[in-house]
Every structure is written in structure tokens, then in C-alpha cells.
Amino acid sequence: MVQSRAATVDAFMLEVGPERLPYIQGLRDACLKVLPGWDEKMSYGMPAYSPKGRPDIGVAFNNQKQHVAFYAGQKAILRFAAELSVPGIDCGKGCVRYKNPKKMDFAVIEAMLQDIRVRDEAAC
């Protein structure tokens, strides 16, 4: 995994090349929009978001050499399996890998983030 040494998400964004910046910025914008009040931080060398004041990570994303990675967690990936069954998208246990960032459907990503937020609120 490619890890950034950036101390802040703003600094991380400055490291992203121009060909991927719109997609990485889209992930950040979606997280900030759908997860209001969550902490934005760098964790394991990538932007991460967690419920306010909690150390655990709810979601994260990264700009890898061969893909854009969106760490949404196993439950979200299982719930959105049909929407993620698209050529150019590869899913692991808790990660969606977009080999072609043009395949990123931000409506699906926002729905996944909404699902994550609602499940977190219900667990509290």
C-alpha cells in the first residue's frame, strides 16, 4: 500500500496528480457532505473519517499506484454488492478498488457513506 507522509488531508491532496485529483477530491467532498461532524484526519498514511472524538476509523480512501481505494468496510460492500459489480471495480473484504477512476459512481459512494453513518448512529 502506498502511504503518504502528509500530516493533514490538505497536504495529502497536494500530493495527488492532476489525472486523479478530481476523483480523490470527489471522495473527500462526499465524505464531508455525508458525514458532517465526523473527524477528518490522516491515519495509516491516508485520509480517514471517524465519528467525532472516537479513535476508530469509519471510512478512508487512498490514491494507490494502480487504483483508487475506498475503505468502506465489509458491511457496506456487501449491502452494495450489486451496484459495485461493474468491470473495472474490484472489491475486497472492506475495500473497493477502482482500477479506472472514471467508473466511480459518486451517487453509490454517497449512498454507501449514508449507510455507514446511519448504522453508526443506530449503534450508539
On whether residue 90 sits in a domain, the answer given is yes
What mean pLDDT do residues 98-107 have?
96
On whether residue 93 sits in a domain, the answer given is yes
Residues with Cβ within 8 Å of 122's Cβ and at least 6 positions away in sequence, in order, are: none
- The reported pLDDT for the residue numbered 3 is 81
| Nearest alpha-carbon partner for 116 in 67, 62, 48 | 48
On whether residue 1 sits in a domain, the answer given is no
- Kindly report, residue by residue over 56-72, the tens digit of the pLDDT: 889 999 999 999 999 99
Q: Which domain holds residue 103?
A: 9-123
On whether residue 34 sits in a domain, the answer given is yes
Band of pLDDT at residue 31, cut at 50, 70 and 90:
very high
CA separation for the pair 74, 95 (Å, rounded): 8
On whether residue 56 sits in a domain, the answer given is yes
Q: What is the pTM of this model?
A: 0.94
Model confidence at 77: pLDDT above 90 = yes
On whether residue 3 sits in a domain, the answer given is no
Q: In this predicted model, which residue has the larger pLDDT, 61 or 121?
A: 61
- Count structural domains, the chain: 1
Model confidence at 1: pLDDT above 60 = no
Give the CATH number, domain containing residue 19: 3.90.1150.200
Give the percent of the chain with pLDDT over 70. 98
Question: What are the distances in angstroms from CA 68 to CA 52, 77, 117, 121, 122?
Answer: 26, 15, 22, 27, 29
